[in-house]
Structure 1
Amino acid sequence: MSEISRDEVKHLANLARLALTDEELDQFAEQIDGIIENVSKVRSVDAAGVEPMSHPHSIETVMREDRIGTMLTPEQALDQAPAQAQQRFKVPQILNEGDE
């Protein structure tokens, strides 16, 4: 049983502004059906009691404690800058927007 019709593939191709031949429409409809079938198989797996993970390995992220430390003053940070303006690094404009 087909999950996606050739007309639906044609509609998607039109939305994506793709010009597909009749053979390509048939081929993509078949491929998309295969993808949908594989996703359906994954959905049928009993995952009760399985904790969701963001990574396939059990890793523990170690975070350091935040500590306030000494920082550079604006003058120190800009000391070696080739150009500066308003206590900031001045770089060449790359977009034609606004003033320098």
Structure 2
Amino acid sequence: MKLESCAAPSHRCTDAEAGTRHHGTTRAAYDLGLSIPGSVLIAQDSDEPALLISDPTITALHFFPQEQAALAVNALLTLIDGDEPAAQSHARSEVRVRASTPISLTP
């Protein structure tokens, strides 16, 4: 059984779906008699404030978008100036473990 349509690789989420997809997943799990985190662990691919007030709170990845934007702008400006960026840069990311996955997801 498919718990969330946004999980399908061929489906592109609308803004409305993306903001509520964890609600649909938790509701479907509860409707099936599953417990979170007991029977099912739930994590989302990007953090957002709504994940902090859901029940249970949802584990998510945080990608520090301001840092990503700064790296991209600096690389673009370097290219516009006719230079090559010195090295490929990567912004940091972190897993924010919450009640939906109460175990550590890092080694």
Report TM bin, short chain: under 0.3
Higher normalized contact order (CA 8 Å, seq sep 6+, divided by chain length): 2
Which of these two proteins has the greater Rg computed from alpha carbons? 1
The structure whose residues are more often strand, as a share, is 2
- Normalising by the residue count of structure 2, what TM-score does the alignment of the two structures yield? 0.23
- Normalising by the residue count of structure 1, what TM-score does the alignment of the two structures yield? 0.24
